[in-house]
Structure 1
Amino acid sequence: MEEQLLSLLRQMTLDEKIAQMLQLATPFFKGADDEGMITGPMAQMGVSEQQVQNAGSVLGLSGARQVINIQQAHLNHNRLGIPLLVMSDIVHGFKTIFPVPLAIGCSWDPELAEKSAEIAAREASVSGVHVTYAPMVDLVRDPRWGRVMESTGEDPYLNSLFARAFVRGFQGKNLTEDTDRVAACVKHFAAYGAVEAGRDYNTVDLSERQLREYYLPAYKAALDEGCEMVMTSFNTVDGIPASGNRWLLRKLLREEWGFNGVVISDWGAVKELIPHGVAADEAEAAYKAVRAGVDIEMMTPCYVRHLAKLVENGDVEERLIDEAVLRILRLKQKLGLFENPFRGADPQREREIVFCEAHRAVSRELAAKSCVLLKNDNVLPLSKEQRIALIGPFARSGDILGSWSWQGSQEDAVSLYEGMASKTEASRLLVAEGCGVETRGTEEQRSEALAAAREADVIVLALGEHSGMSGEASCRADIRLPQAQLELIQELKPLNKPTVAVLFNGRPLDLHGLVDEVDAVLEAWFPGSEGGAAVADLLFGEARPSGRLTMSFPYSVGQVPVYYNAYNTGRPHVPDAPDHYVSKYLDIPNEPLFPFGFGLTYTTFEYGEPRLSADEMTEDRPLTVSVRVTNTGPLPGEEVVQLYIRDLAGDVVRPIKELKDFRKISLEPGETAEVAFTISERQLRYYHSDLTYASDAGEFRVYVGPNSRDAAELRFRLTKKREAGDPAWQ
């Protein structure tokens, strides 16, 4: 088959090859429902009709009938009959929308995450999609950045587990034969989550050691799982934008990691080398991007306008074009498009599969497991006998899908009111909006809310951000709840009714003005199509909270970035210590409001003293740490037992804690489980000052507990046969 592709490549003209490296949006193509809706698209971009007919891929296309129409029209006009690759953003579901990825991370359930990706792939594939721009595995530490909702959090180990799970779910084991799967494209390579000031498209400036230690592992995990594509990020890496960064794409990705798949730019990123200040014009942008290793240029015309001339002038070797095109053709072959250009697209199956009950059931399950109970002063779960006032802008709202829910419908989403109404008598559920998401309620709305609250035994406040307040290009400097919602809380407070706040949002928030004014807080994130049903399950105790935070909630935005695996300082702050000249704030704590790994349940768990199998380990003799966990409360519950390690003396400073493993356990009231973890030398390795990846002999602390803050401590030593500094040791 490789020879067939090489034969096809030899038949292609230079212009035809370069056109394979062009990706255009759906309206450019004949047969599209919205054909021509991009104003003067070909004239505006300088793309000819011939180049469109030879283009290699299309983005934003779906719907079995439309895909078949466009593919057929394309093949009718393409000289060599090379099919289009159809790519779309299937980030957390196609039509059946799952919780946003940050919420999925809080489930600490990679298997269920994999199932969600498998369902998304099935719906997308039957609708004609071949490639999804997911998973997004950028490590995030700044909740001001709108795109934190696309990541699974602040920890490289946990992000890597989810990266692998998503790739497995999307791609399965055989893309050629399994047409219910799609190729995955990991993004955004690299370190997009470290943008300065939490502002989208902004600069990233990291040392290579930080890059390798924290930001690269999840991308590598996705590629090790077989991810077919990589998307470049908008940001700089060591002063060079990713789409023109030869070290990043050629040396690291291709040579060091051995990636042979397709690299695609993000939307417009090749031409953006010009405003970045590393290219004077489109020709130089094309020159730098193709030499860096970008195979497909998304939605700008630098390649099709200038690559041919660059090749003719000897500035770019044609072999670089051939290599890129061959990678694109290989992916098309792997997807079986030469034999079946319509692949999984099937209008009849599409009607049967997309948004079916079985898929929605998984969405509901994952939504329930993704919610995090942050506070509960004996008010949850609710009783169906209580009179409940459901108040707030999200009481009846279907705006609970979140950003990147492209084919999802707010009209089809189960609202919180609908979910709660299905569980209690209508006369016991009083509903009022009270205010808008960002707008103060009218006098009538406020009066209605107060009246409902007065009649109720308990108040449920449905609050948060609308979906446009997080996601791409939706960064916020003030991450508190909007003032209108804080005022609503204050208006209801004098009634002294037990109050539960349910939050719908796409980022960690500064919860002052809320958390201290209510009795319970349930972080629901944007929970997806079945979100209202899942939250109602939790509120009434038919499901029990089991989510744990994978991103710290700041005490104040002034702490940002705030994350659990930070470094110590030479003058660390010890709470309640009198010393003034230490690393601390004068006006707020150093610690986040809610730490990484935190989450409550409807029961309580008691941890015994953890035990080590030995005080010393070697390179070839691991040790075991075990702990007994007992459900001491009245209800069944699920606990996430977490293992953290600290290296006390390294070649470079080491984090105060690093997550190394976890176990999810379910216990009945009074039941005890023994949880054991194996610690190996490999888990103690890190990048040294010379970028060697190794462990240090010496003393370590190990922590076992329910979150990164509340964990019991033990110590052990690692002894090694060779001394540090011995080249053989490395």
Structure 2
Amino acid sequence: MLKSLVSRRAALMGAGAIAAWASSPARALIQAAQDAPAPAFIESLIAKMTVEEKAGQLTLMAAAWAGSAATALNPPSAGASFAQQLDQVRRGQLTGVFNGNGAEMTRQMQTVAMRESRLKIPLIFAADVIHGHRTIFPVPLGEAASWEPDLAERSARVAAVEAAAAGIDWTFAPMVDIARDARWGRGVEGAGEDVHLGNLFATARVRGFQGKTLTARDSVLACAKHFAAYGAAEGGLDYNTVDVSERTLRDVYFPPFEAALDAGALSVMAAFNELSGIPATGNAWLLDDVLRGEWKFDGLVVSDYTGDEEMIAHGFAADARDATRLAFLAGVDMSMQSGFYLQHLPELVASGDVPMARLDQAVRRVLAVKARLGLFDDPFRRADPRREKAVVLSKPHRTLAREVARRSMVLLKNDGDLLPLAKDRRVALIGPFASGQHDLVGPWCVYGDDRQAIDLATGMRAAAARPDLISVTEGSGIEEPIAGGIEAAVAAARAADVVILAIGEGTRMSGEAQSVTETVVPAPQRALAEAVAATGKPVVVLLKNGRALALDGAVAAAPAILVSWFLGTETGPAIADVLYGAYSPSGRLPVSFPRASGQAPYHYDHKPTGRPNPDGPLTEYKAHYRGVPNSALYPFGHGLSYGRVDYSGLAHAPQLAWDGTLSVRATLRNSGSRAIEEVAQLYIRDRTAGITRPVRQLKGFRKIALAPGEAREVLFTLSRRDLMFIGRDNRPIAEPGAFDLWIAPSAEAEGLHGRFELAAG
């Protein structure tokens, strides 16, 4: 009913919207200052605004007219309605809304802004477009497993094309938090545990979203989040305290943000967490000294959802007025969802507690971003219902989704070359994810729909020699057993040649507010695995997951294990491509799979400690857990293909000149019978430094195609910059001395090992 009423109103207003905009004060100011720099017209516009209108430009709210998924993830404030939000637009009380319901909604709201508000300042429309808009790609952690930043740029480009056609100007992505604790659910939104890989994917995703120019109708503004160190929450608990040194911030958690900003991101989202006693939303050192002062960031800073309000619960702000003052003076330009800026900034300015100059500064930043998005030239440039219908879930987009999905899977184990499967084998698909349009698009998906995705059984039946070769048995629920389920699964396994055991996490087990105490496959599914394994039939474990998992029992013992993450729209066909050998898996882990949950947080580039365990058996009074080595079951960078790769011929000079470069070469040979892709990884270790250094650090990688029997040389180049770290004064330094290097297939594989010296300058 609401939609029909709003549509009739829009029909009455829409015809004159463009004409109204052409004669509006904001448009007139642009025309009068045609060749003048943007600040000139923005300053003129700011001079015409009331304090209340300025506060409105800093207020972003969840769209009242939104789909069910958006409402569940970020519900609008109590009592909000679309009619009320339109009234706020008329009165200049909203800068825009987020997670709205497509191009039609966008055009209706923008029409009101252009016809009925005093200054006719265009709205900005934002959304959580995390791993696709309607065409859904693998979750970001899964996509990072491709080790192909260019692929992430392509998927972000498709997401931008679809989102922009729906009227979205701004996405709250990419998340660039380094995440090293698998208990933290939001690790699924990022690129994993490594800084180098994180930097590359941050850069790629910003470029993909923003395109060649922000004014293009198919480009959207990127937002680097969550600033900063949200991934370091104590105990992996979402929203929890973070207390790390400034050195760790600069060495680990800051670099991906710098990479995103260097790539052109013009917005940053403040994190929920406190940082060493000060909530990020009220942290002037973080938002002003570092972000603005050191990095010269000239975009806008937005709070996370009610982040300013939450400083009260933190015990940092006394009340709503105090929270507004603290967040605003710390450098948060725009408030999301709390409504605090609209409620309290006018009075804070009137009382002198917030300078008018600071208010104008924030408004200037917001208007400048709107101008750089081209909204003042054409407020309706993105919202296009016809283009939206044409591009959403188009064939080229689905084709790319399938490509990204199959390149994101990681083959952990393949004993006896169980995979790939012959197409004429009888296959028992067993497990809660064996069939059905559920748990396909994954967490943090506002606009994607499982009903538009292809499930595993459908994909397998389309690829098999005959559909009837594939049987499907649920066997177990995701977190609850099914009466008679195990018995049915055992019978299905006995009747088949091979079992595909589709187990792992459901959509609601990863993502925001989904922290866990144990990073394991749920107990009912582990019981299912034990029973199926006892039949003696060969088992391929197909893991659905949004985090690194600690595998044990029959799951760990299965002869083949394939990590599939949440693959999105083309889940079934992509998995079938890999299982039947149409594509040889080429993904590599972006996170370490630990031996036990209790190792969390675990990351490959840990410090050595003063008592490392020597090679060989575990030794008393050395750094390891009781009975568990201080290593991963499947380390960062690990992944197999359907070939055999031999590493040989490491060659490099013994010394790197202070201002020179060091070439490092090796030869990779595919001794298998199938064409594959291998990811050769370059790691270093600074053997002695003024600040202790990690046991290894990734400094480069090459993903290369190898035909059967083919050998190819890989070349890496190191410079002094690659050897720098944050020194005692919290500034980047490099120190002359001895370094180890490895070209290896993972972070804990020996591969090819060499040494060199960095000469003094």
TM-score category by the smaller chain?
over 0.9
User: Which residue identity does 2:177 align to in structure 1?
Assistant: D
1:726 counterpart residue number: none
Q: 2:322 is matched with which residue?
A: 284
Q: Secondary structure at the match of 2:633?
A: coil
Q: Secondary structure at the match of 1:490?
A: helix
Which runs of structure 2 are paired with 1:341-420 in the superposition (5 Å)? 341-377=379-415, 378-398=417-437, 399-420=439-460
- Aligned match of 1:99: 138
* Residue number in structure 2 paired with 1:499: 539
Aligned residue among 420, 424, 427 for 2:468: 427
Could you tell me which residue of structure 2 aligns to residue 25 of structure 1?
62
- TM-score normalised by L of structure 1: 0.95
Q: What is the Cα deviation at residue 48 of structure 1?
A: 8.7
Moved more, 576-585 or 421-430: 576-585
Hey, what does 1:202 align to over in structure 2?
240
Contact 1:54 1:78 in 2 (8 A): no
Unaligned runs of 5+ in 1: 722-730
Fraction of identical pairs, as percent: 44
2:191 aligned with 1:152: yes
Amino acid of the residue matched to residue 585 of structure 1? Y
Q: Deviations over 1:205-253 (max 9, x none)?
A: 0100000000100000000011010000001122111110000000000
Could you tell me which residue of structure 2 aligns to residue 650 of structure 1?
Answer: 689
Q: 453, 474, 481: which one pairs with 1:440?
A: 481
Say whether the 8 Å CA contact 2:250–2:726 is kept in structure 1.
Answer: yes
**Which one-letter code corresponds to 1:662 in the other structure?**
F
Q: Distance in 2 between matches of 1:344 and 1:49?
A: 22
Q: CA 1:37/1:294 → structure 2, altered by over 3 Å: closer, same or farther?
A: closer
- Aligned counterpart, 1:551: 591
Q: In the TM superposition, what whole-angstrom CA distance separates every residue of 1:567-622 from its partner, at most 9, and x where no partner exists?
A: 0111111142574221122221211111000001111100004111x111112221
Q: In the aligned structure 1, how far is the partner of 2:628 from the partner of 2:302?
A: 44
Alpha carbons 1:287, 1:316 under 8 Å: kept: yes
- Per the TM alignment, residue 509 of structure 1 is displaced from its structure 2 partner at its CA by 0.8
Matched, 1:640 2:679: yes
Q: How does 1:410-489 map to 2 (within 5 A)?
A: 410-424=450-464, 425-443=466-484, 445-489=485-529
Distance 1:485 1:575 in 2: 35
Classify 1:219/1:506 alpha carbon distance in 2 versus 1 (closer, same or farther; 3 Å): same
Matches of 2:336 and 2:360, distance apart in 1: 18
What's the counterpart of residue 207 of structure 2? Answer: 168
Change (3 A) 1:652 1:453: same
RMSD between aligned residues? 1.9
Give the structure 1 partner of residue 147 of structure 2. Answer: 108
What is the one-letter code of the residue matched to 2:469? R
| Alignment match, 1:724 | none
**Cα offsets for 1:262-318 (capped at 9, x unmatched):** 100000000111111111011111111111110100001221221111111111111
TM-superposition CA deviations, 1:298-344 (whole Å, max 9, x none): 00122122111111111111111101001111111111112211122
- The 8 Å contact of residues 142 and 561 in structure 1, kept in 2 or not, is answered as yes
SS in 2 for 1:585: coil
Cα separation, 1, equivalents of 2:122 and 2:732: 44
Determine if contact 2:144/2:408 at 8 Å carries over to the other structure: yes
Instruction: State the Cα distance separating 1:412 from its structure 2 match.
Output: 1.1
Q: Deviations over 1:606-648 (max 9, x none)?
A: 0004111x11111222111111110011111100000001101
Q: Structure 2: 5+ residue runs without aligned partners?
A: 1-37
Comparing 449-458 with 50-59, greater Cα deviation is found at 50-59
Question: 1:623 aligns to what?
Answer: 662
Distance in 2 separating the partners of 1:50 and 1:94 = 26
Quote the offset at 1:165 in angstroms: 0.3
**C-alpha deviation, 1:650, in angstroms:** 0.8
Partner residue, 1:181: 219
Shift of 1:119: 0.1
- CA drift of 1:40 comes to 1.6
Match of 2:700 in 1: 661
- Looking at structure 1, the residues matched to 441 and 63 of structure 2 have their Cα atoms a distance apart, in angstroms, of 24
Match of 2:24 in 1: none
Q: Which residue of 1 aligns with 2:32?
A: none
Check the 8 A contact 1:46/1:301 in 2, yes or no.
no
What are the within-5 Å matches in structure 2 for residues 515-530 of structure 1?
515-530=555-570
| Partners of 1:134 and 1:187 within 8 A in 2 | yes
| Structure 1 contact 192–234 (Cα < 8 Å) conserved | yes
1:139 to 2:178 alignment: yes
Match of 1:562 in 2: 602
Aligned counterparts of 1:46 and 1:209: Cα–Cα separation in 2: 45
Match of 1:256 in 2: 294
- The 8 Å contact of residues 100 and 526 in structure 1, kept in 2 or not, is answered as yes
CA–CA separation in structure 1 for the residues paired with 2:87 and 2:318 = 24
- Whichever residue aligns with residue 438 of structure 1, its letter is E
Deviation readout 1:132-176 (Å, 9 max, x if unpaired): 000000001001000010010111111000000000000012111
Structure 1 segment 1-80 matched on structure 2, within 5 A: 1-27=38-64, 39-41=78-80, 49=88, 53-80=92-119
One-letter code of the match for 2:430? I
Q: Distance in 1 between matches of 2:471 and 2:340?
A: 58
Per-residue Cα deviation, 1:44-91 (whole angstroms, up to 9, x for no partner)? x99994786431121111411111012112333311001110000000
* 8 Å Cα contact 2:65/2:101 also seen in 1: no
| Structure 1: distance between partners of 2:76 and 2:608 | 55
Amino acid aligned to 1:460: I
Counterpart contact for 2:57–2:92, Cα < 8 Å? no
Deviations 1:100-154 (A, max 9, x none): 0001111000111100000000000001000000000000100100001001011
Matches within 5 A, 1:587-626: 587-612=627-652, 614-626=653-665
Contact in 1 for aligned 2:136/2:568 (Cα 8 Å)? yes
Given the superposition, is the C-alpha separation of residues 97 and 717 from structure 1 closer, same or farther in structure 2, using an over 3 Å criterion? same
Which residue in the other structure is 1:727 paired with?
none
Residue 694 in structure 1 maps to residue 733 in structure 2? yes
In structure 1, the partner of 2:365 is 327
Give the conservation status (yes or no) of the 8 Å contact 1:457–1:498: yes
Count of aligned residue pairs for this structure pair: 713
Q: Is 1:400–1:504's contact at 8 Å kept on the other side of the alignment?
A: no
Please say if residues 138 and 215 of structure 1, whose CA atoms lie closer than 8 Å, have aligned partners that are also in contact.
Answer: yes
Query: Aligned equivalents of 2:265 and 2:422: distance in 1?
Result: 47
Q: CA deviation at 1:27?
A: 0.9
Letter of the 2:273 counterpart = N
